[in-house]
Homo-oligomer: A and B are copies of this chain.
């Protein structure tokens, strides 16, 4: 089962509590998997004994595969919440395929929203109706819009994992990641993404050319078939004040999902000609719900993960999160076609993706003596490496008090994030390799690489990378 991938023979289950979602699930699944047979079978684990065996039947013999389409009812826009209603409840070992939508799709609605039932459902907004009103963890009467844009990412979920309790570790294996094709027939076979050089970028105000405080959108094209491993720029434009359907004018990018009126912008098609951007599909925001507050902005990453923005969190990678609330409440969003370490200008190539995940619950009592014993932060495992994620403030919600969600933006610092990454890698080496502190410190200087994850999410990030093959075999 370790290598299972979503296929037409899979059995997909959704919570009975969400009948409307189940209906959309069938529609989405048929779109994605045209060969899906009408009679689904429960998928059995071939390694488990059957009930006709002479050995006692185990309590559980099947692994379920769930599917969550992205639409207005299956996403949280811009926040994590320990009180959110789960979209599915699953068991450890189950798979979930989750559609994720980029919150920048309306930078070019023709390419990234039009004809896409899921995206149209999420982004729908006219003078009377706004399908997803809350966008962010802020006030519902905020001037810029409900939720205040204090949190911007469209996050699919949550997924509740049965039996997950505070102190456990949730392992999330990223089994597959595929781009979401444009639903507009004009762009068949193509996927698009948007890069916003935005007001929260590291570069903002520090440019050679005027106006120094400009925001620039660059639309990129990604091969939806996955045959080409590079993206190319299509055109760019400077942000102009955009008026949303409720009449609020957005002079800068201050609220997610505002549809850009292409009559107001000037497209420049002479952009990054013939430059091939390596594709690194991954999820910028991935994690479980924090315990410290009811509504938590999706922007600053923290001990439960969230907006980590590490491009290595793609197909084949595994994330480990400390469970902070019952059921864990996993969500994923902010899909990226590509990003560089630092995400310098504020965003990646923001591009809708669909991921398939397997969830393994590690109970607290089983952790000592394993590499997961030190997981009090989001830990990443790739084929060859372990990575810890340091932040300017490790758990800003707990450390910065009641105003944490605004205070964290005054603490942004790579220096602090490096200090946190040093602490975490030291603890990882000491805990998992039984090294003393002097050994861990020497090893960090000669065999661990520290890189800048992002400097645009308030709680800035530094990751520390250690290669697995330096450690002795356990055999």
Contact = CB atoms under 8 A, between A and B. Distances in A.
Interface string A341-353: 1111111110000
Interface in A229-270: 230-231, 233, 236
Contact of A450 (B209, B274, B349, B452): B452
Contact of A438 (B197, B415, B419, B448): B197
A414 B418 contact: yes
Given A276-B469, A452-B462, A447 B415 contact: no
A452 to B, nearest CB: 5
Contacts of A231: 446
A441 interface: yes
Contacts of A201: 441, 445
Interface string A405-440: 000000001110011001000100000010111110
Of A340, A343, A347, the most chain B CB neighbours within 10 A belong to A340
Nearest to A348: B446
Contacts of A426: 203, 208
B277 A445 contact: no
Contacts of A449: 340-342, 451
Interface residues of A, number: 69
A106 interface: no
Contacts of A451: 341, 449-452
A439 B272 contact: yes
Contacts of A439: 218, 233, 236, 271-272
B341 A445 contact: no
B452 A206 contact: no
Interface string A312-345: 0000000000000000000000000011111111
A349 B446 contact: yes
A278 interface: yes
A342 B449 CA distance: 7
Given A277-B470, A438-B197, A472-B275, A345 B444 contact: yes
A209 B427 CA distance: 12
Given A201-B445, A342-B450, A343-B445, 6 more contacts: A203-B441, A275-B433, A275-B443, A338-B446, A339-B446, A348-B446
Interface of A: 195, 197, 201-203, 206-209, 214, 216, 218, 220, 230-231, 233, 236, 271-278, 338-349, 413-415, 418-419, 422, 426, 433, 435-439, 441-452, 455, 462, 467, 469-472
**Pairs A-B, 3 closest by C-beta atoms:** A274-B472, A341-B449, A345-B445
